[in-house]
Amino acid sequence: MPRLIDRLGPAEDIWTVLGAEDPLPSSGSVIVALERLDEALAAGLELGVHLPNDTDPERVKPHFDRLSLISVDFPSFTDGRGFSIGHCLRALGYEGRLRATGPVISDQFDFLLACGFDEVLLPDSVAERQPPEHWAAAEGRITLGYQRGLAGRGSILDARRTAGDG
């Protein structure tokens, strides 16, 4: 079962997650833990970083231009801190790939996209039960939301203005 899913469907994961003890490779795309970010930055790799969900998003801001991917940890789908972290990273100007890593569910897909995420990386236990069709069906299930200033779905508040003008 595909574990990486984005707006376009199942995707191939080109990233290698580096374990705490693993040596840095000489090439390729690696995701490192936050503690090893400085070390990895010096190595000149294509770099991603994995953030626990109690990380201050400001912490990685100085490295935005060197990071191609930020992965935010969702230890469980009910722990919603990652939604705010995603939003904050985008608000701080991060423009690279944003990944939600953990047992999130397809019913949260729109929310994740709205908070600036691009993709989800699921554990097998979730991926087995929630095939890509479920994620495709979930996207845009609620056509418009009431909030403004978010990525993804449009705002009813703005749509009303447009409808009013027409």
Partner 1 sequence: MYRYDEFDRRFVDERVAEFRDQVERRLTGALNEAEFKPLRLMNGLYLQLHAYMLRVAIPYGTLNGRQMRMLAHIAETWDKGYGHFTTRQNIQYNWPKLKDVPDILEALATVEMHAIQTSGNCIRNITSDPFAGVAPEEIEDPRITAELLRQWSSLHPEFTYLGRKFKFAVTGSEHDRAAIKVHDIGIQIVRGEAGEVGYRVLVGGGMGRTPMIAKELRAFLPKADLLPYVEAILRVYNLHGRRDNKYKARIKILVHETGIDAFRDQVEREFATMDRAAVTAPEGEMERIAAYFAPPELTEKPSAPVAFERMKTLDPDFAQWVERNTSAHRVPGYVAATISLKPIGGVPGDATAEQMRAMADLAESYSVDEMRITHEQNVVLPHVALGDLYKVYRGLAAIGLEAPNKGLVTDIIACPGLDYCALATARSIPVAQAISKRFASNKRQREIGPLSIKISGCINACGHHHIGHIGILGLDKAGVENYQITLGGESTEDAALGQRLGPGFGYDELPDVIEKIVDIYLDLRQGRRETFLQTYRRVGMEPFKEALYATAD
Site residues, partner 1 (CB under 8 A): 77-81, 83-85, 87-88, 91, 105, 107-108, 110-112, 114-115, 129-130, 134, 137, 141-150, 152, 156-161, 163-164
Q: Name which of 71 and 108 has its Cβ closer to partner 1.
A: 108
Instruction: Give SS3 for 91.
Output: helix
Provide, rounded to whole angstroms, the least separation between the CB of residue 28 and partner 1.
Answer: 33
For the CB of residue 62, give the shortest distance to partner 1 in the complex, in Å.
17
Nearer to partner 1, 46 or 139 (CB): 139
Q: Between 14 and 157, whose beta carbon lies closer to partner 1?
A: 157
Shortest distance, position 25 Cβ to partner 1, whole Å: 33
Compute the least distance from the CB of residue 46 to partner 1, in Å: 29
The Cα–Cα gap between 26 and 5 comes to 28
Q: From start to end of 34-147, where are the E strands?
A: 46-51, 67-73, 97-101, 119-121, 144-145
Polymer length of the chain: 166
Q: Name the residue nearer to partner 1 (CB basis): 62 or 164.
A: 164
Per-residue DSSP letter, 83: H
Task: In angstroms, give the least distance from the CB of 127 to partner 1.
Answer: 11
Query: C-alpha 63: how far from its chain's center?
Result: 17
**Cα–Cα distance for residue pair 9/135, rounded to 1 Å:** 8
* CA distance linking residue 140 with residue 151, whole number of Å: 12
Of 8 and 163, CB closest to partner 1: 163
Contact 27, 45 (CB under 8 A): yes
